[in-house]
């Protein structure tokens, strides 16, 4: 229990650090975002705006009131972020929360599906490879796994767009779903459209991921297969299926669980590039758009929200580790990742 | 641990000898405890060294950093005399401090013999190991090729400029433009070649930054333990949970950096050190109570030296593998971000080429320009594949058993050891962006 509390406290600390860092980046850098915004506003408004008005506009956009003392600015900023107020997007002229908020579920949908697919396919393939160690199937799969593991996701994404998207026109090349369809969860046409639009982004992230999982599952399984307790299990006459699932698979997957947590970060980061290739309006898509338009409130809001999503994902993964590995329940002796 | 304490993890041989005569210990001429601590490398659980996540097959004995000749474990194991002289700094064979060089001389080799042996063990044996394995051989060839491309290649290929040739020549159509040309008539091959040097600098700076910071944090946290450990690990955990690429993007925008490849390399791996620190810490935890570390501690050797010569040598395979893994991450990350156009640049880059191909010629939808996109992508994949395979080779080079077998000057007793093992399989977690 205390471990759970400690873990949750650490997640909160992470979010706190990120928000503070974003405040520092916006506020403290000379020639940074705040100066840029002010210069732009003076240029646009010309003489019609007083300095006070300009400061007010900036405060509305970034939650930073320039003429207050710095600790008041900081506290105000933190309070605003905590209440879900990420400021006003300059480009979309809407609150940042209402631009990015609706995009979060889509990014989570992409990354979670890709991670799940890569992990399950990789682990199953790796297990089969370990059982058939040295066979032609094993050699071939190892080679494929190595090549895929050395391919960045965006390369696969670009190939998908070029071939499946434009040349053979199997999948749409942009958007979350067909805008002609009524977006309701009980509408089967809508769900099909969502899957069709999500298929290529998910596949391009999953394809480059599963090779690595397969290789490490193969290595772990081969090691487990040589263990004494497996011989005992066989001598006890346990069924092959039980041995494969409860003895080999479970012990081989455990060391990879920590890798899974790091992979959550990799996939979330990679989604930024993938979403832009497929013009898929997720958080990463808006992040890049914000950067190109120098829309600092939107940029920081996107960054904070991506971090929060990732922190939640990693915390869940970390807390379920104890469920998978009873030895870790105590917490104190944990040496994961 | 104070010097009068018993070493808790001593092997049976040493502790029994010691208990019989605990007070004489410090000035005993050839105290078996010291010798055993030095000599009994096999007492350390070899599995502990290979670490948690990497199923790298066979057990390997711990390598002590003081141990200047790689062959010592094999010789010692055969001799069966634990009090045999070992070149472990600080061992007292005659009751007075002896420098490492004098101890080496005890094996009575002539100067030239020693030099030849050193060359054989440190240069030839690793080279032979690498060449012995087709994966590592491929990796070496690829990486060497890219290194040459980034240095000599610049002299051989003309600098890229617009209108070097006809517009959008396809790949492999003409000898003059083997990889084709862009929509503005620039030779793609020369662009790829001229993008290599800054890429190599970027890769090196990013990988060095991550490995140095990660190793330093991880070893100090793991070895010191206590408050140092919890502070360092909390920082690492926080850093690790921040998504890397978005952080890079935000920093690059807010800090208004210039296109310096060294800075960009560091920026791309800005928080990757945290994950490495975590992994290294958990390996150090298994090493810090090893006997040779305890021995160093009892002798009053300072923490930095213990970490530097007892702990880190044992982690070298893991560190090397991570160096290569980080190199790959820098390639993937930087090319991806250049492709998105969110990083500043002052020379041509593979990612910038891809960006231009897609945005200026619509390479994804028009087959005529597709080679413009494909060539830089292949360049990345081949380099990444070479690095991956090289990492697997590096794993074998650092394995003392494999090395001893490949060194001709060493008569090795244990050639029953299988050395393969899917060492590189650890790269799973970073399986692509």
Look up the ipTM and state it. Answer: 0.83
Model confidence pLDDT, tens digit, residues A312-322: 888 888 788 77
pLDDT at B26 over 70: no
The angle, 0 to 180 degrees and rounded to 10, between the axes of the packed helices A2-28 and B244-254 is: 20
- Among B55, B255, B373, the residue with its CB nearest the CB of A222 is B55
Could B370 and A269 be called an inter-chain contact, meaning their C-beta atoms sit closer than 8 Å?
Answer: no
What chain A residue is nearest to B389 in terms of C-alpha separation? A146
From the list A286, A284, A310, the residue with the least C-alpha distance to A298 is A286
At B98 the pLDDT is 54
Residue A333 burial (CB count, 10 A):
8
CA–CA separation, B386 vs B145, rounded Å?
Answer: 10
A89 contacts chain B (CB < 8 A): no
The angle, 0 to 180 degrees and rounded to 10, between the axes of the packed helices B272-287 and B188-224 is: 40
Please tell me the total number of residues recorded for chain B in this structure.
Answer: 433
Could B358 and A158 be called an inter-chain contact, meaning their C-beta atoms sit closer than 8 Å?
Answer: yes
Could A213 and B428 be called an inter-chain contact, meaning their C-beta atoms sit closer than 8 Å?
Answer: yes
Contacts of A307 in chain B (CB under 8 A): 241-243, 246
A80 contacts chain B (CB < 8 A): no
Q: A 168-187 residues with CB below 8 A of B?
A: 173
From the list A291, A300, A252, A229, the residue with the least C-alpha distance to A78 is A300
At B385 the pLDDT is 92
> How near does any CA of chain A get to the CA of B15, in Å?
28
A211 contacts chain B (CB < 8 A): yes
At B377 the pLDDT is 92
**What are the distances in angstroms from CA B30 to CA B5, B14, B74, B96, B98?**
19, 12, 22, 11, 13
What chain B residue is nearest to A207 in terms of C-alpha separation? B432
SS3 (DSSP) at A64 = coil
CA–CA separation, A91 vs A296, rounded Å?
Answer: 10
Q: Which residue has the higher pLDDT, B432 or B227?
A: B227
- Among A152, A210, A219, the residue with its CB nearest the CB of B332 is A152
Contacts of B337 in chain A (CB under 8 A): 273
pLDDT at A281 over 70: yes
Span of A220-234, B114-128, B200-214 with lowest mean pLDDT: B114-128
Contacts of B373 in chain A (CB under 8 A): 158, 162
Could B328 and A218 be called an inter-chain contact, meaning their C-beta atoms sit closer than 8 Å?
Answer: no
- Among A173, A212, A307, the residue with its CB nearest the CB of B243 is A307
Contacts of B255 in chain A (CB under 8 A): 29
Span of A69-73, A142-146, A164-168 with lowest mean pLDDT: A69-73
Under 8 Å CB pairs connecting chains A and B tally to 216
Could B428 and A218 be called an inter-chain contact, meaning their C-beta atoms sit closer than 8 Å?
Answer: no
> How near does any CA of chain B get to the CA of A153, in Å?
5
Let me know if domain A104-330 sits in CATH 1.10.3720.10.
Answer: yes
Please tell me the total number of residues recorded for chain A in this structure.
Answer: 337
Neighbour-count burial of B134, counting CB atoms closer than 10 A to its CB (0-12 exposed, 13-18 middle, 19+ buried): exposed
pLDDT at B417 over 50: no
pLDDT at B123 over 60: yes
From the list A92, A103, A81, the residue with the least C-alpha distance to A21 is A81
Span of A38-42, A99-103, A332-336, B255-259 with lowest mean pLDDT: A332-336
> How near does any CA of chain A get to the CA of B331, in Å?
9
- Among B354, B370, B428, the residue with its CB nearest the CB of A212 is B428
A222 contacts chain B (CB < 8 A): yes
Contacts of B59 in chain A (CB under 8 A): none
- Among B251, B336, B381, the residue with its CB nearest the CB of A150 is B381
Average pLDDT, chain A: 83
What chain A residue is nearest to B235 in terms of C-alpha separation? A14
Q: Which residue has the higher pLDDT, A285 or B8?
A: A285
Q: Which residue has the higher pLDDT, B94 or B133?
A: B133
Angle at A68 between CA A62 and CA A73, to 5 degrees: 45
Residue B182 burial (CB count, 10 A):
25
Average pLDDT, chain B: 72
Could B250 and A25 be called an inter-chain contact, meaning their C-beta atoms sit closer than 8 Å?
Answer: yes
CA–CA separation, A256 vs B210, rounded Å?
Answer: 22
- Is 0.80 surpassed by the pTM of this model? no
Domain ranges within chain A, ordered by starting residue = 34-85, 104-330
What chain B residue is nearest to A336 in terms of C-alpha separation? B282
At A327 the pLDDT is 66
Model confidence pLDDT, tens digit, residues B207-240: 999 999 999 999 999 888 888 888 998 898 888 8
Residue A256 burial (CB count, 10 A):
25
Q: A 137-166 residues with CB below 8 A of B?
A: 142, 146-155, 158-159, 161-162, 165-166
Residue A265 burial (CB count, 10 A):
26
- Among B54, B55, B336, the residue with its CB nearest the CB of A154 is B336
pLDDT at B42 over 50: no
- Among A26, A151, A300, the residue with its CB nearest the CB of B381 is A151
- Among A173, A259, A314, the residue with its CB nearest the CB of B428 is A259
User: What does the pLDDT average to over A202-225?
Assistant: 89
Could B427 and A212 be called an inter-chain contact, meaning their C-beta atoms sit closer than 8 Å?
Answer: yes
Which of B246, B387, B395 is the mutation pick for testing A, counting most A CBs within 10 A?
B246
SS3 (DSSP) at A304 = helix
Q: Which residue has the higher pLDDT, A328 or B129?
A: B129
At B31 the pLDDT is 45
At B409 the pLDDT is 60
From the list B351, B350, B329, B327, the residue with the least C-alpha distance to B338 is B351
Could A210 and B431 be called an inter-chain contact, meaning their C-beta atoms sit closer than 8 Å?
Answer: yes
CA–CA separation, A96 vs A69, rounded Å?
Answer: 25
pLDDT at B47 over 50: no
Could B364 and A211 be called an inter-chain contact, meaning their C-beta atoms sit closer than 8 Å?
Answer: no
> Which residues are CB-neighbours of A206 under 8 A, at least 6 positions away?
A113, A114, A115, A117, A118, A121
Could B429 and A262 be called an inter-chain contact, meaning their C-beta atoms sit closer than 8 Å?
Answer: yes
At B99 the pLDDT is 55
A301 contacts chain B (CB < 8 A): no
Could A337 and B279 be called an inter-chain contact, meaning their C-beta atoms sit closer than 8 Å?
Answer: yes
Contacts of A25 in chain B (CB under 8 A): 250-251, 254
Looking at residue B95, the DSSP 8-state letter turns out to be S
Could B384 and A151 be called an inter-chain contact, meaning their C-beta atoms sit closer than 8 Å?
Answer: yes
Could A337 and B342 be called an inter-chain contact, meaning their C-beta atoms sit closer than 8 Å?
Answer: no
Contacts of B425 in chain A (CB under 8 A): 215-216, 218-219
Contacts of B60 in chain A (CB under 8 A): none
CA–CA separation, A99 vs A104, rounded Å?
Answer: 10
Could A151 and B247 be called an inter-chain contact, meaning their C-beta atoms sit closer than 8 Å?
Answer: no
At B218 the pLDDT is 92
CA–CA separation, A264 vs B242, rounded Å?
Answer: 11
Contacts of B341 in chain A (CB under 8 A): 292
> How near does any CA of chain B get to the CA of A184, in Å?
31
From the list A274, A90, A87, the residue with the least C-alpha distance to A197 is A274
Could B241 and A337 be called an inter-chain contact, meaning their C-beta atoms sit closer than 8 Å?
Answer: no
Which of A262, A301, A327 is the mutation pick for testing B, counting most B CBs within 10 A?
A262
Contacts of B232 in chain A (CB under 8 A): none
pLDDT band with cut points at 50, 70 and 90 for residue A46: low
pLDDT band with cut points at 50, 70 and 90 for residue B97: low
């Amino acid at each position: 229990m205390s471990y759970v509390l400690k873990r949750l406290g650490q997640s909160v600390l992470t979010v706190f650090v990120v928000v503070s860092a974003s405040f520092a980046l916006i506020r403290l850098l000379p020639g940074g975002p705040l100066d840029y915004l002010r210069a732009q506003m003076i240029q646009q408004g010309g003489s019609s705006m007083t300095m006070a008005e300009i400061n007010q506009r900036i405060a509305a956009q970034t939650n930073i009131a320039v003429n207050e003392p710095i600790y008041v600015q900081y506290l105000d900023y933190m309070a605003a972020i905590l209440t879900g107020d990420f400021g006003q997007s300059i480009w979309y002229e809407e609150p940042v929360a209402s631009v990015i908020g609706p995009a979060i579920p889509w990014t989570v949908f992409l990354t979670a599906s890709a991670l799940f697919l890569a992990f399950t396919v990789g682990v199953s393939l790796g297990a089969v490879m370990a059982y058939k160690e040295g066979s032609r199937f094993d050699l071939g799969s190892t080679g494929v796994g190595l090549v895929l593991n050395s391919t960045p996701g965006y390369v696969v994404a670009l190939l998908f767009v070029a071939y499946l998207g434009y040349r053979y026109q199997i999948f749409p090349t942009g958007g979350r779903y067909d805008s002609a369809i009524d977006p309701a969860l009980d509408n089967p046409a809508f769900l099909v459209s969502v899957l069709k639009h999500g298929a290529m982004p998910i596949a391009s992230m999953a394809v480059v991921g599963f090779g690595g999982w397969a290789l490490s599952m193969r290595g772990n399984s081969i090691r487990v297969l040589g263990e004494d307790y497996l011989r005992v299990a066989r001598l006890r006459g346990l069924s092959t299926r039980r041995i494969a699932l409860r003895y080999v698979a479970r012990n081989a997957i455990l060391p990879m669980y920590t890798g899974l947590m790091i992979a959550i970060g990799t996939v979330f980061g990679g989604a930024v590039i993938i979403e832009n290739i497929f013009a898929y309006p997720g958080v990463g898509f808006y992040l890049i758009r914000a950067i190109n338009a120098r829309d600092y409130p939107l940029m920081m809001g996107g960054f904070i929200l991506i971090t929060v999503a990732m922190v939640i994902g990693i915390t869940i993964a970390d807390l379920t580790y104890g469920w998978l590995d009873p030895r870790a329940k105590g917490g104190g002796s944990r040496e994961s990742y | 641990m104070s010097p009068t304490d018993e070493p808790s993890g001593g092997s049976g041989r040493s502790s029994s000898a010691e208990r019989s005569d605990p007070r004489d210990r410090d000035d005993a001429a050839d105290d078996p405890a010291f010798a055993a601590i030095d000599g009994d490398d096999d007492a350390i659980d070899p599995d502990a060294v290979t670490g948690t996540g990497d199923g790298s097959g066979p057990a390997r004995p711990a390598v002590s950093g003081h141990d200047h000749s790689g062959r010592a474990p094999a010789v010692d194991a055969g001799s069966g005399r634990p009090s045999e002289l070992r070149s472990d700094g600080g061992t007292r064979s005659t009751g007075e401090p002896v420098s490492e060089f004098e101890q080496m001389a005890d094996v009575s080799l002539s100067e030239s013999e020693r030099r030849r042996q050193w060359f054989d063990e440190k240069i030839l044996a690793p080279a032979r190991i690498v060449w012995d394995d087709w994966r590592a051989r491929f990796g070496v060839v690829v990486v060497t090729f890219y290194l040459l491309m980034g240095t000599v290649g610049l002299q051989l290929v003309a600098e890229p400029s617009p209108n070097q040739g006809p517009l959008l020549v396809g790949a492999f159509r003409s000898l003059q433009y083997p990889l084709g040309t862009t929509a503005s008539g620039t030779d793609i091959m020369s662009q790829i070649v001229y993008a290599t040097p800054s890429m190599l600098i970027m890769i090196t700076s990013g990988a060095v930054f991550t490995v140095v910071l990660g190793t330093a944090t991880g070893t100090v946290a793991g070895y010191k333990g206590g408050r140092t450990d919890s502070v360092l690990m909390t920082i690492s955990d926080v850093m690790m949970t921040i998504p890397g690429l978005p952080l890079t993007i935000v920093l690059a925008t807010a800090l208004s950096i210039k296109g310096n490849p060294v800075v960009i390399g560091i920026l791309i791996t800005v928080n990757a050190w945290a994950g490495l620190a975590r992994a290294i810490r958990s390996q150090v935890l298994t090493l810090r109570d090893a006997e040779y570390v305890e021995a160093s501690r009892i002798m009053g050797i300072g923490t930095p030296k213990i970490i530097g010569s007892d702990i880190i040598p044992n982690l070298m395979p893991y560190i090397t593998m991570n160096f290569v893994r980080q190199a790959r991450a820098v390639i993937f990350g930087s090319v991806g971000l250049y492709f998105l156009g969110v990083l500043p640049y002052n020379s041509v880059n593979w990612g910038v080429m891809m960006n231009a191909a897609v945005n200026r010629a619509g390479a994804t939808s028009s087959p005529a320009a597709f080679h413009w996109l494909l060539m830089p992508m292949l360049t990345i994949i081949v380099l990444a594949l070479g690095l991956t395979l090289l990492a697997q080779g590096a794993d074998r080079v650092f394995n003392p058993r494999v090395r001893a077998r490949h060194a001709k000057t060493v008569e090795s007793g244990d050639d029953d050891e299988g050395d393969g093992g899917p060492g590189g399989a650890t790269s799973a977690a970073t399986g692509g962006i």
